[in-house]
Copies of this chain bind each other. A is one copy, B any other.
Amino acid sequence: MDIITQANEEAIRRMLTGDPVLVDVVPATEAIDGLKDRMILHAGPPVAWKNMCGPMRGAVTGIAVFEGWAENLADAEEQADAGAFEFHPNHHFDAVGPMTGMTTMSQPVMVVENRAFGNRAFCTINEGLGKVMRFGGNDLEVLDRLRWLRGSFGPAFGRALRHIDGLPLKDLIARGLTMGDEMHQRNIGCSSLTLRALAPAFAATSDENDALSRALAFLGGNDQFFLNIAMAMGKSVMDPVRDIEGSSVVTAMSRNGTEFGIRVSGTGDQWFTAPVEMPEGLYFPGFTSDDANPDMGDSTIVETVGLGGFAMAAAPAVAGFVGAGTATEAAATTHAMAEIVHSENPEWTIPSLNYLGVPTGIDVRYVVETGLAPTINTGIAHKDPGVGQVGAGVVRAPLACFEQAVWALADRLGIA
């Protein structure tokens, strides 16, 4: 067996044997080694302040106010211009974040432990829909919600998780796939299952029923609550797949609103980047594609692990929401993605495709050979800072990233 085949078999084995468990919620500074004052982790590959898109800048100024580093948004912008903040990708710190993906010291992060490999991954708590920081929102309402997540909901969520010794995610996601979720733009099934599993523990570890009622209403009222859990899950499953000499399997796909980047197992932590594309989608009333920011966020870790656009057939209801057509077209998308991967996942199956497993283990070579770029379901942010979500759609990963990766891998193996 040649080195690439052997390496990819090992990559698939690690993906399929991952055992992700949501174990805790703690302040980011406790969870993430090296996260310090005035450091801001963001979505996607590295990007300098001057190259950041509108919503990313909006989120940066908002989070600087939230952390007490700036008096107000204008002050935060001046400080950013003056280089007062240090920027790094979430992916460089075992973390992921949706859309703008702000991760900073005092925010609570969810901790997913991959019990098969012992590694941990982190993601902030989903804020809900509309005007929220991940879509570039930064006003008082947005910051107040973050304060409540930090001061009340996050600690209660952590207590509940510790009370039940963690929430295993593999079976929960399997069940979500039978409930019409694809875990990127549709998470109502898994969000509901999370509430089912945690509500008794929230109650058992609370002594203040108004706060408890508000926490349960927040968890139960947010159809996308599970997205951030799915992302930390994806990161925890993909991280042990990194650095397998010779493997052409994609370990991360991510976008910062300016560039799309991928990482491949056999080329380690190198990013292969290209300009992000514009999602094609449906817009909320009052907005059009003229308002849209290009593709953004670490949430493509969900597609990297075989869900999201790859599991479109499981979620015919989301196909309409993101403008991807009918159930028939949703099934075609999943079948197309099956052409660029190594395996199906026997534990994550799609009932409407007679229990076909989700496409697992993207191979950069197959993407380049077929010209089939990974299909991604995504939210769409307004291009200006401070506005928020304006729609949802589908976007393709730029082929250029995969072409670069193939050449780099070939170079590394001396077969270029």
Which residues of A from 189 to 222 have beta carbons under 8 Å from B? 189, 192-193, 195-197, 199-201, 203-204, 206-207, 209-210, 212-214, 216-217, 220-221
* Count of chain A residues near B, Cβ 8 A: 39
Q: Are A199 and B216 in contact (CB under 8 A)?
A: yes
A221 surroundings in chain B (CB, below 8 A): 196
Indicate whether A196 sits within 8 Å of B220 (C-beta atoms), given known contacts A206-B209, A213-B203.
yes
Q: Are B178 and A178 in contact (CB under 8 A)?
A: no
The stretch from A125-133, A289-297, A348-356 touching chain B is A348-356
Q: Are B199 and A220 in contact (CB under 8 A)?
A: yes
A201 surroundings in chain B (CB, below 8 A): 213
Cβ contacts A220-231/B at 8 Å (1 or 0 each)? 110000000000
Indicate whether A192 sits within 8 Å of B196 (C-beta atoms), given known contacts A178-B180, A327-B351.
yes
- Docked Cα-Cα span, A163 to B150, in Å, equals 28
Cβ contacts A162-202/B at 8 Å (1 or 0 each)? 00000000000001001110000000110011011101110
Q: Are B209 and A316 in contact (CB under 8 A)?
A: no
- Docked Cα-Cα span, A210 to B205, in Å, equals 10
Per assembly, the copies of the chain total: 2
| Min CB–CB distance A330 → chain B (angstroms) | 9
- Docked Cα-Cα span, A217 to B160, in Å, equals 13
Query: Within 8 Å of chain B (Cβ to Cβ): is A370?
Result: no
| Min CB–CB distance A190 → chain B (angstroms) | 10
Query: Within 8 Å of chain B (Cβ to Cβ): is A317?
Result: yes
- Docked Cα-Cα span, A189 to B190, in Å, equals 10
- Docked Cα-Cα span, A209 to B209, in Å, equals 9
Q: Are B317 and A178 in contact (CB under 8 A)?
A: yes
Q: What are 27 A-B pairs with beta-carbon distances under 8 A? A: A175-B188, A178-B316, A178-B317, A179-B189, A180-B351, A189-B192, A195-B196, A195-B199, A196-B220, A197-B220, A199-B199, A200-B214, A200-B216, A200-B217, A203-B203, A203-B212, A203-B213, A204-B210, A206-B209, A207-B209, A316-B352, A317-B351, A320-B351, A327-B353, A327-B354, A328-B354, A352-B352
